[in-house]
Each structure stands twice: as C-alpha cells, then as structure tokens.
Amino acid sequence: MTLSNLTTDATMNASQPGSSRIGLIVPSSNTTMETELPELFRRQTAATGHTYTFHSARAALKNVTTEELLAMAAKAADCATAVSDADVDVIAYACLVAVMAQGPGAHEPAENVIRQAALDNGHPAEVTSSAGALVRTLQQLGARRVVMVAPYMEPLTQMVSDYIEGAGIEVIDTVSLGVNDNLAVGCLDPLNLPGFARNLKHEGADVIVLSACVQMPSLPAVQAVEDELGLPVITAATATTWEILQLLGHTPAIPNAGGLLAGTVASLVPRIRTDA
C-alpha cells in the first residue's frame, strides 16, 4: 500500500460512523486537559466501542492572573476558527477561569462566540465550556450547596465561588492552594486531593467540586473521594466530559471516575432533591 493510500484510508476511517471528533481550546501551558479527557473517553470507548479523536487549538497563558485570563478569552473566536478546520463535532472551551473572569453568566456569550466562529468558518459544531459545564452539571444534579478545591490564589478562588453562587448555588467551603503558575498547577499531585476534601466543611453539602480547574489533575482521586465521603464528586474535567457526551447524544459509561460518568450518580443524590 502506498503512503497516499495510507493517508486516504486514515482520513476515511476518522470520518466513518462510530467515531467522533472533539475540539479543545486550551491555554498554551495546559498539560492536563489533553491527558484526562482522552483517558476518560478511552474508558467510554472500551465500554461502548465508539471512538473519539481530539484536536486542539492553544491560546497563550502562563500565569493564572486576571489580566492573562482576559487576554486569552479575547482569542476564543480565532481558536474556534482554527480548531473547526478539523470539522469537529463538538468544541470545548477548556479554561474555566478565563470565562469566569468575565463575570457571572459569562459562559453563555463565550460559547456563542465560539459557536458563531465555527459556523462562519463553514464547520458548525456543538459547543460547551468548562465553566458552563460545571455550573450546568451542578444545576442538573439539583445541587444547592457545594464545597470546592481550587489551585488558585485566594482572589481567583473567590471569583470562581462568586460565579457559582451567581448561578444560584451556595459555596459553603473552599480550599485555595495558592498556585498561579499554570505549569505548576499541572504538576500538583492528585493523590493529595482526598486529604483536602476530607478537611472541607462538607456537612450540609450536596456535591464536592474536587477540582475547579481543568489544569489541576484530579482523575485518580475522584472515585476514592466519592467512595469515602458518600457525596457526588465532580471536577471541571468530568463535568466537561459529561456535557460533551450529552451534546453527542451518547450515554456515559465511564468507570472509576465518579457516579456522574458511570451513570450511577442518581443513587447518591436523592436527598438533594427531597431535602427542604
């Protein structure tokens, strides 16, 4: 078989039914979203047979400061145009605080900008954002009170808390790890997260947000914390994954990443919907 035939065959295979393309818009210094999401979707593939490929566009961000986050947000349309060239099925804007830095509810206009850019480029796609996915997932779970672990300096953690509260959900306790270098955030040890979660004042909480940042690794700890504390555990990454699956019309079937993605979260949340 010639090289040209191999290339043609690969292209045809990627376009066949049974495979979906996922576009990601990520900070240039992100090292986690492009590892945790593919791992989650690998587990989905193992359970369902449907395959997924990932295609990224990057926007400059080194330090998690309000100034750099707003500069990154201004590049969302250009990144959406670039990633839509791959004719992706879904685009996920994978920087939670870049959206939240624009104020409560900012995920809706941000997602519209990306949606319109892809449409104008001739490759319309479904769109989500990690900020929107986190808020909407909490709302769909019926959560009224949450606790949260975040890697940021305290002012940014407070901004995320205010954003969630702007969606009608009370944040009753937070842990702020005080890291503003985005590469350093990606090097944080997820095995420390159970200890942070254990020390949160989670009495009265409906959901634990174990990582309010797509760059802070959390996947190895999600199931362990949920099993230990008996509360639904979500992260920016698992919420984004759940919403991508919803947009594709796929039923979550991902093991060892919390009840949300295993499809069993309902067994953990009946009291959320019935408490006065």
List the binding residues for substrate. 30, 95-97, 152, 182, 214-215
Select from 143, 166, 35 the least CA-distant residue to 94. Answer: 35
Q: Where is the binding site, in residues? A: 30, 95-97, 152, 182, 214-215
Decide if 26 contacts 34 (C-beta within 8 A): yes
Would you call 79 a catalytic residue per the annotation? Answer: no
Q: Give the Cα separation of 144 and 154 in Å (integer).
A: 23
Which DSSP string do the residues of 9-61 spell out, in sequence order? HHHHHHHSTTEEEEEEEEETT--SHHHHHHHHHHHHHHHH--EEEEEEEEE--
* Active-site pick, 61, 80, 95, 247: 95
| Cβ atoms 255, 226 nearer than 8 A | no
Q: Select which of 101, 150, 213, 216 is catalytic.
A: 213
End-to-end CA, the chain: 67
Can 213 be counted among the known catalytic residues? yes
Buried b (16+ CB within 10 A) or exposed e, 159-193: bbbebbeeeebebbbbbbbebeebeebbebebeeb
* Residue 143 DSSP SS3: coil
CA distances 128 to 1, 16, 162, 223, Å, are 40, 24, 20, 24
Q: Report the DSSP pairing between strands 145-150 and 126-129.
A: unpaired
Backbone angles phi, psi at 172, to 5 degrees: -95, -15
Residue numbers annotated as active site: 95, 213
